Amino acid sequence: MLTDYIRKAAKIIFWAFFTWIFSRIFLFQTFLIPTASMQPTLVEGDRIFVNKLAYGPRIPITPLSLPSGNMYVDWQLPYMRLPGFSEVQRNDVIVFNYPMDDDLPVDHRKGYVKRCVAIPGDTLSIRDGIVKIASAFMLTPAHAPASDCVDPVQPFYDSSAYSPNFFPNSSFIKWNPDHFGPLYIPAAGASIVLNRNNILLYKRIIEQYEHNTLRTSNDSVFINEHYRVTYTFKMDYYFAMGDNRNNSLDSRFWGFVPEDHLIGKASYILTSSSPGRKWSGIQ
């Protein structure tokens, strides 16, 4: 009798664990808001529901690992994502892995939650603190052949309030929180003309996110040791900002959110220290 009881208990534990793992990977997870960067939409201590079906669940990139913590075998699979109900829209509140955690696999990087203010194909500018979005440069496989090139607008420079903390973290492009861009947000299949300014803006994408080697010699650009005058992006990218923009470490500081870093859409507030917010939708 005791053996049967142990066997039944083991089955219950196994299937409960399997259900939890499956749900966390493919359906949803919860996320605790650690800072005030998304106030007033989300406040510190809110626990939110992250819908992974919205943009399609990401297949685990590091399959031999625990879903939480940094216990994993350093072996990664290629990025794959199942179909979702929708694509990321402007003003969606998105949850993603922090792109700058280079020492960790993508799916083990710290979780961030911000508002998506620009989607692939947009050109973003900030003037006097006001965000402006133009989509005239949108080029995706559905709209134009990959051989067509985006030649972004000449970047704006504001040396009066330049800080190296802001993307692209270079003294050659002097941006700040209130004067930023124009910056083209890359779309998969779109190409850019390579020049000195573009290399500063898209160097991290080319090297870190899309795994190429890049070097320059005088005015020439070499990617994987081949001379190139254009570059075609492999993934979609996003630009994310906190609603509390004076107190948010976001894309203005570190640049783009790659598609393979997306975890899901922030949909509901599950618990909150503020009254009347429990189970409220996130807009």
Cβ within 8 Å of residue 142, ≥6 positions away? none
Residue 130's contacts (CB-CB under 8 Å, 6 or more residues apart) are none
- pLDDT of 20 reads 65
pLDDT at 72: 78
- Residues 134 and 37 reside in one and the same domain: no
How many domains, the chain? 2
Q: Which pLDDT score is estimated for 17?
A: 64
Model confidence at 197, pLDDT cuts 50, 70, 90, reads confident
The model's pTM is: 0.87
Residues 162 and 214 in one domain: yes
Asked whether residue 124 falls in the same domain as residue 148, the answer is: yes
Residues 103 and 147 in one domain: no
Average pLDDT over residues 236-264: 96
Question: What's the pLDDT score for residue 74?
Answer: 80
Within this chain, do residues 8 and 90 fall inside the same structural domain, yes or no?
A: yes
Give 33-86 pLDDT, tens digit per residue: 999 999 999 999 999 999 999 999 999 988 877 766 677 778 889 999 999 999
- Please report which confidence band the pLDDT of residue 19 belongs to, taking 50, 70 and 90 as the band edges: low
Report the pLDDT value the prediction gives residue 71, as an integer from 0 to 100.
Answer: 75
Do 273 and 217 belong to one domain? no
Q: Are residues 77 and 17 in the same domain?
A: yes
Do 125 and 115 lie in a common domain? Answer: no
Mean pLDDT over each residue of the chain, to the nearest integer = 85
Same domain, 48 and 147: no
For 207-235, how does the pLDDT look when each residue is reduced to its tens digit (9 = 90+)? 999 999 999 988 889 999 999 999 999 99
Name the token pair of 32: 């605790």
Same-domain pairing of 69 and 133: no
Amino acid at 206: I
Task: Report pLDDT for 148.
Answer: 42
Let me know whether 2 and 115 are in one domain: yes
CATH code: domain of residue 63:
2.10.109.10
pLDDT, tens digit (0-9, with 9 covering 90-100), for 120-158: 999 999 988 889 998 744 333 333 333 344 444 455 555
pLDDT at 237: 98
Say yes or no: 5 and 67 in one domain.
yes
Output the pLDDT for position 143: 31
Which domain covers residue 272, as residue numbers?
1-119+241-250+259-283
Which residue in the block uniquely carries the two structure tokens 């280079």? 102
DSSP 199-236: HHHHHHIIIIIS---EEEETTEEEETTEEESEEE-SS-
At CB < 8 A and 24+ separation, what contacts does 65-69 make?
65/105, 65/107, 65/108, 67/21, 67/24, 67/25
